[in-house]
Amino acid sequence: MKERRNKIKQVRIKQHVMMKTFTVIPKEGRIHQPLNHFDRKNTKTFPQRFMVNEVYWQRSDGPIFLYIGGEGPLSKYSLLYGHHVEMAERHEALLVALEHRFYGKSINPDGLETDQLRYLSSQQALADLAAFHHYISQRFDLSYKNTWISFGGSYAGALSAWLRGKFPHLIYGAVASSAPVHAQLDFSSYNRVVGRSLTNEAVGGSEKCLTEVREAFAAVEAALLMGNEIEVGRDFGCCESPVKAEDKIELVQSLAGVFMGTVQYNEEGLEFNVVELCDIMTNKSEAYKQEEPYDRLIKLMAMYQARVNAPCLDVSHEKLVLELNNTKVRSSYRPWVYQTCTEFGFYQTCEDDSCPFSHTINLQIETKLCSQLFDIPQYSLPLYIDFTNQYYGGKRPQTQRVLYVNGNIDPWTELSVTWNDTTVDDDSILLINGTAHCADMNQDKALDKPALHQARKEIERRVAKWLKMHHGTI
């Protein structure tokens, strides 16, 4: 879902950029980073991709806006489009971006082998960013007058906050959008928020919508338990019948994923938004009124497969494991699965009674991939996650000049900083009503919700304040 959202976003951005009177092509380069920043005896390096856009920069004392890459390839459009780019133009900033190690093109040929993935971590990524800061400072002859502000969304938003926390002498301020700074093994609250958002009338949900979704998934689970796998597989256009227990769970996860992704990326141009999804699940017109929720879910999935141009719904768990074990495919999700196993968890389970989907999506199933792919025992995961929270501070980070921005229908808000306490300053939290994951990072559009317009103004106010503070003008 995230990959499709990014592709759709790239097309939209490309169209926007092409409409400009002139198009700036960001300069691309490579910096050879240590494979292991924490072992000087290890002299191995890897080529890390970066990009630079100088078009807005006031060279003498203009600020540096650092866009942090996350768990995917870095796009040139990251320095051509977005709220941070709009702010860079107004504040005459140099725009720079760094691709995350082991994603995109920033990886050695054997980088996805399990023995190499041990060098993939957020700590190594922060050290990469610190080294990149030094490289850019030398290349552009920067001084203390050039204020560095970091920007990131989702996992990269957490990196933005952590970079400011661990390297406060390098980064003066940080914007952390939809940043899950709190690692959590059993992220059951994700689906609790999905269910709550499906009832939110402000975004097109209703209590009826949630009820219909619950009934539809209960019917799917009952049909599978009664041995009607072939019929269910035919109903939902599966590539093969979900006979094996693992395949049944893959089917339920695929169905749930459409609802989860719709809530997370509401109004981002994906296959559905909450309004359309709930309309399909609750429609009482002549065409629908005799149908059960199960039948409406079938229609919803048929529409989904048509819109993503999928000939059938692949629910083979064995095929998934084979794909994730392929160390040659650079577009694989293998690196991110590794990070969930060794640092974050983030497993979106459905064992909580508030979850509207199937209880078969449980922690045991979610963490099994760690042992299947990387020989990481499931019992060791809580130790890794505890370390992450102790190292960074979880929801109680000891940080100043970090702005945590979240939308209140985004499930990832549960793992971000959304309330003030003694560990953060009073000017550090922004919660946007009716918006979803990383919505604030997009360029301002006329049709955006008033709350989103206002949030972007507030983000820029904070950034402008930091710049003035650093120059001693306030």
In eight-state DSSP terms, residue 411 is G
Question: Which of 91, 100, 437, 470 is an active site residue?
Answer: 437
Q: Is the dihedral of CA 416, 178, 186, 163 positive or negative?
A: negative
Which residues make beta-bridge pairs with 97?
A: 51, 67
Confirm if 401 and 158 have CB atoms less than 8 A apart: no
Strand, coil or helix: what is 334? helix
Note if 410 is an active site residue.
Answer: yes
Distance CA 242, CA 231 (A): 10
For residue 57, the Cα-to-chain-centroid distance in whole angstroms is 29
Confirm if 421 and 447 have CB atoms less than 8 A apart: no
Confirm if 431 and 73 have CB atoms less than 8 A apart: no
Distance CA 387, CA 381 (A): 10
State the DSSP string of 315-375. --HHHHHHHHT-SS-TT-SHHHHHHIIIIIEEE----STT-SS-TTS-HHHHHHHHHHHH-
Question: Which of 75, 154, 197, 416 is an active site residue?
Answer: 154
Confirm if 313 and 301 have CB atoms less than 8 A apart: yes
Q: Which residues contact 48 (CB under 8 A, 6 or more apart)?
A: 30, 31, 32, 33, 98, 99, 101, 106, 128, 132
Distance CA 97, CA 352 (A): 39
CB count within 10 Å of CB 228 equals 14
Residue 145: phi, psi to the nearest 5? -70, -20
The candidate with the shortest Cα–Cα distance to 399, out of 212, 105, 213, 172, is: 172
The one-letter code for the residue type at 234 is: R
Residue 449: phi, psi to the nearest 5? -60, 145
In eight-state DSSP terms, residue 122 is H
Beta-strand runs (E) in 178-218:
184-186
- Residues labelled as active-site residues: 154, 410, 437
